[in-house]
Amino acid sequence: MGTISTMARWIRNYHRPVMKVKHADLKRYSESDFKTICPMCEEGLLLVHRDQTTLELLRHDHCTGCAQQVYYIDSNINGEKFKEDSSHGR
């Protein structure tokens, strides 16, 4: 049993299927309304990203620790709506 490097774990998780999560059900990181603890590794954080121009919330996110990709199924976070991602085409 060898230990795999952090980078190897990162790459493996990045290619895993996207995990659908409900932001409202995740553990909050400190007092932030947006940052949550990753449900996969329970070490990394999910930060919630925003569109660079409109600042709308983005549904796709990934863990800063293990790189698991997530997709938020909530209708909003803390009253803020998500950008509709139909324009991405994937």
Nearer Cβ to Zn ion (56/69): 69
Question: Is residue 41 within the footprint of Zn ion (CB under 5 A)?
Answer: yes
Nearer to Zn ion, 40 or 57 (CB): 40
Type of residue at 34: F
- Which positions ≥6 away from 83 have C-beta within 8 Å? 51, 54, 56, 57, 58, 59
* Least distance to Zn ion, CB of residue 65, Å: 4
Determine phi and psi for 81, rounding to 5 degrees: -85, 160
Question: Which residues, numbered 49-88, are part of the site for Zn ion (CB under 5 A)?
Answer: 63, 65-66, 68
